[in-house]
A and B are shown apart, each in its own frame.
Chain A
Amino acid sequence: MSSLSARLLISVSVLLLLFFGATIVVLDIAFRDVGEKAREDILDGQLMTLLAAAEPNAAGELEMPAGLPEPRFGNVGSGLYADLQDSDGNHLWRSPSSLGLELPHGPVTRLGAQQFSRLIMEDGTPLMSLSIAVEWELPDGELKPYIFYVAESLDSFNAQVARYRRQLFTWFGAIAIIMLFSISLLMRGVLRPLRRIEQEISEIEKGNRQSLSEGFPTELSGVARNMNVLIGSERARSERYRQTLDNLAHSLKTPLAAMRAILTQQKSPSLTEQLDPQISQMTEIVRYQLRKPAASASDAIGATPVPLEAELSRLVDALRKVYGEKDPTIDLSVTEDAEFRGDTGDFLELAGNLLDNACKWCESQVSLTIRPANDAGGMLLTVDDDGPGIPEDAAEALLQRGSRLDESAPGHGIGLAVVRDIARSYGGTVSIEASYLGGASMTVVIPPAAQR
């Protein structure tokens, strides 16, 4: 069960089932008890009526009058029955309603005691019966025992109970459905802040947002606060790390430059021959290994899109200065929906190294195009030149440089290895092909932030 709402709904359903079930049982029992008690009282009243109506006849036996006050005794199959027996079990009288029916009798315990019983008639109809054994003082002063008996069919009572039960189920069922529905609505409201956190985190991932907003409920504001602290410290940590490497590289390069200057001043070819390659190698190691690392995908949390055209125009202005004497034509074409989310420095490093190479090798033509990597955005950057180009087998080797830097000959620039590393850290790729301009065509593909 991965959904909180589903979890809650299922638990609530089970609880409702137990609770409502118990309530229904209790209500049912109470209703039955009250109903039965009422039935017993009525039956008791009927019995009293019979006792009051009985009169001894001339033969010295008890006799019931023809018309009783309760008309149901007179109607056949009315459901209310009565009879009168002597102590031997001989029927002295039977109510006309019991005509043709065999009435079951419960046991009679002792004189004067009322005895309620539940009985079943031959045709299966349930009965509630009440009997009483009395001693009747006849006019001659003789005491004679009799048993008075009344019984009523429980059919209508049971039908009433069943109706009552049906109503209970209907109402409680309706209430349960309404409750579950309201709870699920409620859950939606209660869980809305969670959905908001989720949405804001995904916005941060996509770089549309710097941190989680304020105003979460008390239970979540702690989570949001800690999350912001985490994001902040993560950014600070990676920035500190880059800064440290950068400072280290910076502080090593000046002494290296001084060493080289001193070496030049010595004007000793043999010393230069021995030491210069060493200095060059150290230089490349420092430049490559200690260079400010590219932002990783996680550093790009909250990164905003780099304003590509503005940065490119700064870069191209700079390159035009540097290549002022060669003065190559640099064509720029940037499609508007291309997007690079990340560090501006990383973008400049990609475009700068590729353009620098192209300007270095071209005859007179350099062209840079940027368009989206795919439908979801991203950036596809291609730099073409009309220089000598790069043979296919050399291209692979060029891209491999840097991974085994210390073996490589110094002085060949590490631009392409840097481009490759930055592209990789953004989940992208670099490829080299023949250009339509006649020289090399270098392509960097950076997928959109969401697909890294």
Chain B
Amino acid sequence: MRLLVIEDDATLRETLCSQLADEGFGIEQAADGREGLYFALEYPIDLAIVDLGLPEISGLDLIRQLREKGKTYPILILTARDRWQDKVDGLSAGADDYVVKPFHFEEVTARVNALLRRSGGWASSTLSAGPVMLDTSRQELRVSERSIELTSYEYKIIEHLMIRAGEVISKTELTDRLYDQDFERDSNVIEVFIGRLRKKMDPDNTIKPIETLRGRGYRFALERNQDV
């Protein structure tokens, strides 16, 4: 998944980007509003993190323009202004959530994950499809009420697949999610993880949660359960 980070403070932007990259996100970064708007409009972006106090084009204007131009991906505001007036202005301009500076990095990843989940069509933090239940706040996977132990790599992959259940996710995207961008892409490590996940979740090969589409990628194949 590709994130766009628009923040004018170089130190903050670079550390934030490198930490998000460590979490497995693909990153685009911009230092001012004009550049940010260009990236936001022209690149395939899944979520944008926007500082409100930007040079050239203010964060608020940028968000408004994105929404006017039909971009619907989630936007997370980074703001130093923590009055409700500023938060409300940002959110009603079209942003989806905010993080007030100075934040803990974990806060940002938690919000980003929640927003991605929501944009994937999940209303709550527990994703449930057929017998499979993924509690993203506890990072816990259950299949038919049976708790399944996962490594953090395995968790990231099943989370990514489930968030975008029904969509085809390329191997490259999954690789990005696991490692830094410069990782050797040809490795078959993804196949290994997918194989392990299938074995853990579906030892009898009855529910077939993950589908392989040759040459295109993988898809979480179970129907989402309606929210109760």
- Chain A interface residues toward B at CB < 8 A: 246, 249-251, 253-262, 264-265, 279, 283, 287, 291-292, 314-315, 317-318, 321-322, 324-325, 327, 344-345, 348-349, 351-353, 356
Contacts and interface: CB of A to CB of B under 8 A. Distances in A.
Contacts of B9: 254-255, 257-258
B102 A345 contact: no
The 4 closest A-B CB pairs, nearest first, are A352-B84, A257-B102, A261-B15, A256-B102
A254 B16 CA distance: 12
Chain B, interface size category, equals 35 or more
B88 interface: yes
B53 A250 contact: yes
Contact of A321 (B83, B96, B104, B105): B96
Interface in B102-128: 102-105, 114, 117-118, 123-125
B83 A291 contact: yes
Contacts of B125: 325
Contacts of B85: 344-345, 348-349
Contacts of A314: 88, 92
A292 B97 CA distance: 22
A238 to B, nearest CB: 16
Given A258-B9, A349-B83, A283 B102 contact: yes
A257 B103 contact: yes
A426 B115 CA distance: 38
B136 to A, nearest CB: 9
B164 interface: no
Given A254-B80, A348-B84, A351-B84, 5 more contacts: A265-B19, A324-B118, A325-B118, A349-B84, A353-B84
Nearest to B52: A250
25 contacts: A253-B101, A253-B102, A254-B9, A256-B101, A256-B102, A257-B103, A258-B102, A259-B102, A260-B105, A261-B11, A261-B16, A264-B15, A264-B105, A265-B15, A279-B102, A292-B83, A314-B88, A315-B88, A318-B87, A327-B123, A349-B83, A349-B85, A351-B84, A352-B87, A356-B84
A261 B19 contact: yes
A350 B226 CA distance: 37
B225 interface: no
A322, A325, A344, A348 — most chain B CB neighbours (10 Å): A325
A324 B88 CA distance: 15
Nearest to A313: B92
Nearest to B22: A265
Contact of A264 (B87, B100, B104): B104
B81 interface: yes
B89 to A, nearest CB: 9
Interface of B: 9, 11-12, 15-16, 18-19, 53, 78, 80-85, 87-88, 91-92, 95-98, 100-105, 114, 117-118, 123-125
Contacts of B88: 314-315, 318, 348, 352
Contacts of B98: 322
B80 A322 contact: no
A315 B84 CA distance: 8
A293 to B, nearest CB: 11
A239 to B, nearest CB: 14
Contacts of B101: 253-254, 256-257
A258, A262, A324 — most chain B CB neighbours (10 Å): A258
Nearest to B51: A254
B176 to A, nearest CB: 20
Contacts of B114: 325
A262 B83 CA distance: 26
A257 B101 CA distance: 6
B18 A265 contact: yes
Nearest to A318: B91
Given A258-B12, A317-B91, A324 B84 contact: no
Contacts of A356: 84
Contacts of A327: 123-124
A246 B101 CA distance: 14
Contacts of A352: 84, 87-88
A265 B114 CA distance: 22
A340 B122 CA distance: 39
Contacts of A256: 101-102
A257 B91 CA distance: 21
Contacts of A345: 83-85
Contacts of B100: 253
Given A315-B88, A318-B92, A321-B96, A254 B83 contact: no
A262 B102 contact: no
A287 B82 contact: yes
Given A253-B101, A257-B102, A262 B82 contact: no
A249 B80 contact: yes
B103 A260 contact: yes
A268 to B, nearest CB: 14
A324 B119 CA distance: 11
B55 to A, nearest CB: 13
A324 B116 CA distance: 12
A389 B83 CA distance: 25
B87 A258 contact: no
A120 B41 CA distance: 126
B18, B80, B91, B92 — most chain A CB neighbours (10 Å): B80
B78, B82, B98, B103 — most chain A CB neighbours (10 Å): B82
B11 A262 contact: yes
Contacts of A265: 15, 18-19
A264 B83 CA distance: 26
A274 to B, nearest CB: 16
